[in-house]
Amino acid sequence: MNICIYGSSLSAWVAATCLAKVGHAVVIDEVMGDSKQAITDVSVIRDEPGLLTEVLCQIKEGRLSRRQQHSKVTADVHWLALQPNEQQLAERVMDDLRLNGARVLVVNQCNFKVGATEGLQLSLGGGGDVVYMPDNLQEGLALQGFMQPSRIILGIDKKAAVDKTKAVLQAFTSDLDCLQLMSSREAEFTKFAITGMLALRIGYINELANLADLLQVDINIVQESMGADPRIGSHYLSPGCGFGGQNFDAYVQKFSGILQKERQQSLLKTVIEENEVQKELLFRKLWQHYQGKLTGKVVALWGASFKPGTGSIDNAPSIKIIDALISQGVQVNVHDPEALGHLINHYGQHPLINYSENHLTAVEGTDAVLLVTEWPIYKSPDYKRLVALMRVPLLIDGRNMLDKRQAKKNGFTYLGVGR
Amino acid sequence: MVSSIKAWVGLQSHAEEMQSIHLKNLFHPSEDRFGAFSFSFDHYLLDLSKQRITEETLSKLLLLAEQQGLAGWISKLFNGEKVNDSERRAALHSALRLPENATLCVDEQDVAQDVQASLLKMHGLVEQIQQAQWRGFDGSPIRCVVSIGVGGSSLGPLMACTALEQYTGADIRHLDVHFVSSMDGSELEKLLPNLDPATTLFIVASKSFTTVDTLANANTARQWLLSASHQSIDLINQHHFIAVTARPDQALTWGVPEKNQLLLWDWVGGRYSLWSVVGLPIALKIGMQNFREMLAGAHAMDEHFRDTPFEKNLPVLLALVSVWNINFLNIHAHAILPYDGRLSQLPAYLEQLEMESNGKSINRQGERIEYRTCPVLWGQVGSSAQHAFYQLLHQGTEPVMCDFIMAAMRYESEGEELKEQHQLSLANCLAQSRLLAIGESVSDSEEQQSNYKHYDGNQSSTTIMLDTLTPETFGGLIAMYEHKVFVQSVIWDINPFDQWGVEQGKKVASSLLAELRNGRNEVLDSSTNGLLRYVKSRQQRGVS
């Protein structure tokens, strides 16, 4: 099938690549993106493990191409992977398709709002069907998630569109345990509901962890026991110094906005606000340890991306922590296996920031190490060597990743999140 | 004495003729009275056509200004001469709003440069707080600022914050600003339980840093922080207090470190200080850019006042007409009536500005004077006052002069309902000033009405109209009143920049405090003694 993808987000590139990989002829219209920029420079592609290689491969084999300005595209399937705030662009695509007159299938993957797909259908008119398929993209695992989904939700309002949609997705649905069909409105709501639920869980466990800090309870023990209860389960139950990322954050914000508009107040609004506070947790622990006297201190930051497996620093706690540190006149040595390029773009050459290629060089002469992202490389440090390198052996572990007992045994002051 | 100079005597005999003429009779269908007696500059209109004046009145008043040497006094004021003679100080509030690159040398010191340095330090603190990088004792960013101050350290900033709240940018709306003044702790008692100690910063604003009211509140605030945080007093002082003062030594003794001090100078009078670092709460509320626009608006009014011929000079005309009302038409009450809820604090501000400045009865030569000076001044948002004291304005026995203040345009980007409310408010403002001036004949039917429905009219009023209320026009409006007060003081030959009348009460209070604490039984008057005994007996009974 000929498929045209609209968008320049990670979702757009993942969909384009995977659909090409299974044999569709795919054109990607980057809309607000720059279609002249070299693929190797597109950061959403570079940040996602494995994606760059796959995109280049599909382009080389001729199944994936980039739409250049005003070039004509004829496609049977139009796939919308735009940002949550780009609904107007989607409307414009619908207008163009309606004027073209050909009968098309439109797959909407955008998280605009509940009822947006119905609106797009109205704009498109009778010349085609618009269906909604929520994107379940997990940054860092995006390709795998698209190629081998564990479940797919489809929001389809007209029976006739069901078979067409299944035909497009046929390559991904063969091993599928679970395909759920519902109205587009219900599917849109489900997408928001799932995202919100995950945010609530993280918010709740963070709140418990902060309380555990005050009550001398180890949250890891509590968390394991909670997770063992089948009614709760262990996913999204790790306390930490805040969630970030482009998509997750944006969806939660969007959903919170909807809830607030319709119901005046929202649990999620509190979760978002508390998450912003949580992002500065490591800074506060450092501040309290040094009683507010931070000027002139040197601190190593381990990890800057919002989660391991990606170089993205969108809404990452590291940004808030670095901002707070440099405002207090603290020298920051930051290490991250993937994100240094983005950090340099964000801060430039700053007198208080050193970008370290090596996580051990970063800790030399420091008054604390702040572990922000749980990259595997930080998991089992040589504590004896660390002690020797640092000026003050203080570990502040924002992901409860380090071995607290080992650290203490080697003379560290260890501060975790709730332990 | 001014009351014996020629221009004054001339005005007295002119007033005898004018006393018998009803204001409504000054309006002739063939004449454009509004055109003749309204004056505009920039974004401001000053309408004096509802004052009981004629061309002759104005020219006689201008002559009085000339004979009192107003021009000379204006240049003394702006040049930094010691116009506050009883305290041997200049009164350089105009220097506080000079443009950034200006210079003004007074006693071989460039005060303009000092002002900019002080504003720059304030700018740094404002940015740190607004960017959520000023940290409380546990490292959380400050989200709430409580300004502790009284009189000039409170009225101006409170008024400006209330007036200009809409100019708070979206990026700084997370910051709450509160004001605390009252000596008895009433405001703190109500406020503190709703605040988070870790994210609350206190500004302690006191020129002398000895003001009892302010220090009492500051001590209560600090104790609250100490109890909540279990931290050292040093840490709390470092992270939760900013001092705004002319006495850095006193502030340091109380505990505020140098890095948290913002300085002003003894040539800034308290009631003229909102333009200085005393304006910190304003800058926090509306941003430094808007604060600077407020200064620029005031500066434009300064230049207008300094450079414009008196017959077109808004502050001069405003002052001269009030002198006419007070000294020649015997009107001794002055109502301030903004028809704009944003200016709700303006009456309280002007009460201090006018009454503390010109509530004097000794002239610059130290002689007791025999003419009236500042009238009793009060006010309220006009539309609310209509339901309160307008009855007296319309049908009471007191002659009262009124200032009606409004903005021509508002809610330009809001919905129709709010725009309609603005029109409603304007209509009421114009209706009231018209009815006060013209009286019952405003009604279309000329039929005889019963006495209690009778409106005499003949109450003078001034209308001050701004195009819109912005930081800039707000600054200009306040500067206009400041200069008006100065012009009055020149006519009355009094010093508007001291306030000896508020000093003695503080001393008596401290001796009575000792009396309440230990009952030393000083020889007091029987009334005060009786009251003291009564308080003590009640308090003892309360304890038992």
pLDDT at B521: 64
All residues of chain A having their beta carbon less than 8 Å from the beta carbon of residue B139 are: 280, 283-288, 292
pLDDT of residue B42: 95
Question: For residue B446, what pLDDT is reported?
Answer: 54
Cβ burial, residue B102 (10 Å; 0-12/13-18/19+): middle
Residue A146's nearest CA partner among A333, A13, A337, A3 is A13
Q: Beta-carbon neighbour count of residue B521 at 10 Å?
A: 9
Q: Name which of A344-348, A397-401, B136-140, B513-517 the model is least confident about.
A: B513-517
B197 vs A72, residue with greater confidence: B197
pLDDT at B478: 98
- At B217, which helix (H) or strand (E)? helix B212-229
Mean pLDDT of chain B: 95
Range of the domain at A234: 190-275
In the predicted structure, residue B15 carries a pLDDT above the cut 80: yes
- B140 to chain A: which residues are within 8 Å by CB? 277, 280, 284
**Does residue A254 surpass a pLDDT of 70?**
yes
> Any idea of the CA torsion for A19, A21, A22, A26, to the nearest 10 degrees?
40
Q: Domain ends where: A182, A205, A235?
A: A182
Q: Which strand (E) or helix (H) includes residue A2?
A: strand A2-6
Compare all CA atoms of chain A with the CA of B229 and give the residue at the minimum distance.
Answer: A288
CA B262 to CA B277: how far, in whole Å? Answer: 6
A349 touching B (Cβ < 8 Å) = no
All domains of chain B in start order, with CATH:
2-67+308-443+454-497 (3.40.50.10490), 93-291 (3.40.50.10490), 507-543 (no CATH)
Residue A121: the pLDDT is 95
Give per-residue pLDDT as tens, A32-77: 888 888 999 888 898 888 999 999 999 999 999 999 877 788 899 9
Q: At what angle do helices B288-307 and B314-323 cross, to 10 degrees?
A: 70
Contact indicator for B265, B246 with CB cutoff of 8 Å: yes
Type of residue found at B204: V
Q: Is A284 on the interface with B (CB under 8 A)?
A: yes
pLDDT tens for each residue of B49-64: 999 999 999 999 999 9
Specify burial of residue A306 (Cβ count, 10 A radius: 0-12, 13-18, 19+): buried
Instruction: Tell me the backbone φ, ψ of residue B404, rounded to 5 degrees.
Output: -95, 125
Give me the residue label for tokens 């339901």.
Answer: B387
A371 & A234 share domain: no
| Chain B residues touching A292 at Cβ < 8 A | 135, 137, 139, 235, 238-239
A199 lies in the same domain as A135: no
The predicted structure's pLDDT at residue B254: 97
Q: Are residues A263 and A292 in the same domain?
A: no
Do the chains contact at A284 and B239, CB–CB below 8 Å? no
Confidence of residue A217 (pLDDT cuts 50, 70, 90): very high
- Give the model confidence (pLDDT) of B253-298 as tens digits: 999 999 999 999 999 999 999 999 999 999 999 999 999 999 999 9
Residue A251 has what pLDDT?
74
Q: pLDDT confidence of B447, banded at 50, 70, 90? A: low
Enclosing H/E stretch for B114: helix B111-130
Judged by CB atoms closer than 8 Å, whether chains meet at B139 and A327 is answered as: no
Select which of B6, B506, B522, B536 is catalytic. B506
Q: Of A151, A166, A182, which marks where a domain is finished?
A: A182
User: Which residues of A, range 318-347, sit inside 8 Å of B by Cβ?
Assistant: 323-324, 327-328
Residue B524 has pLDDT above 90, yes or no: no
Q: Do A284 and B140 touch (CB under 8 A)?
A: yes
pLDDT at B442: 52
How many whole angstroms separate alpha carbon A193 and alpha carbon A188? Answer: 9
Among B128, B139, B235, select the one facing A283 at the smallest CB separation: B139
Q: Which of A285, A292, A328 sits opposite B238 (nearest CB)?
A: A292
Interface membership of A37 toward B (CB under 8 Å): no
- What DSSP state is assigned to residue B266? T
Laid out side by side, the sheet with A25-29 consists of A64-66, A25-29, A2-6, A77-80, A104-108, A128-132, A151-155, A178-182
Confidence of residue B516 (pLDDT cuts 50, 70, 90): confident
Q: What is the mean pLDDT of residues B500-517?
A: 88
Among candidate residues B130, B146, B403, the one with its CA nearest the CA of residue B286: B130
Contact B138 A288 (CB under 8 A): yes
Check if A207 contacts B (Cβ < 8 Å).
no
Phi, psi (rounded to 5 degrees) for A22: -95, 10
**One domain for residues A404 and A296:** yes
The answer to whether residue A286 neighbours chain B at the CB level (below 8 Å) is yes
A88-101 pLDDT, tens digit per residue, is 999 999 999 998 88
β-sheet bridge partners, residue B135:
B141
Question: Are A294 and A403 part of one and the same domain?
Answer: yes
pLDDT-derived band at B19 (thresholds 50, 70, 90) equals very high
Cβ distance of A284 and B131 shorter than 8 Å: no
pTM comes to 0.89
Instruction: Identify all chain A residues contacting B173, using CB atoms and an 8 Å cutoff.
Output: none
Burial class from Cβ neighbours inside 10 Å (0-12, 13-18, 19+) for residue B170 reads: exposed
Q: Quick one: what percent of chain A has pLDDT higher than 90?
A: 74
Cβ atoms of B494 and B327 within 8 Å: the answer is no
| Residue B366 clears pLDDT 60, i.e. is over it | yes
A330-366 burial, b at 16+ Cβ within 10 Å, e below that, comes to: bbbbbbbbbbbebbeebbeeeeebbbbeebeebbeeb
B81 is catalytic: no
Please report the pLDDT score of residue A93 as a whole number: 92
The helix or strand, by DSSP H or E, that contains position A147, with its residue range, turns out to be helix A142-147
The minimal CB distance from A292 to the residues B131, B135, B141 is found for B135
CATH of the domain at A237: 1.10.1040.10
Instruction: Let me know whether A42 and A152 are in one domain.
Output: yes
Residue A333 reports pLDDT greater than 80: yes
What CATH number should be reported for the domain holding residue A115?
Answer: 3.40.50.720
* Whether residue B387 lies in the annotated active site: yes
Does residue A143 share a domain with residue A23? yes
pLDDT tens readout for residues B385-420: 999 999 999 999 999 999 999 999 999 999 999 999
Q: CA-to-CA distance for A315 and A199, rounded, in angstroms?
A: 14
- What whole-number distance in Å separates Cα of residue B326 and Cα of residue B318? 12
Asked whether residue B443 carries a pLDDT value surpassing 70, the answer given is no
Determine the residue of chain A that is closest to B140 in CA distance: A284
CB contacts, 8 Å: A286 with chain B: 139
Known catalytic residue at B506: yes
Q: Which residue is associated with the tokens 């320049």?
A: A8
Catalytic hit among B356, B360, B472, B482 = B356
A110 and A233: one domain?
A: no
Residue found by looking up tokens 């740190």 in the block: B128
Alpha-carbon span A305 to B425, nearest angstrom: 55
- Residue B4 CA to chain centroid, in angstroms? 32
How many domains is chain A partitioned into structurally?
A: 3
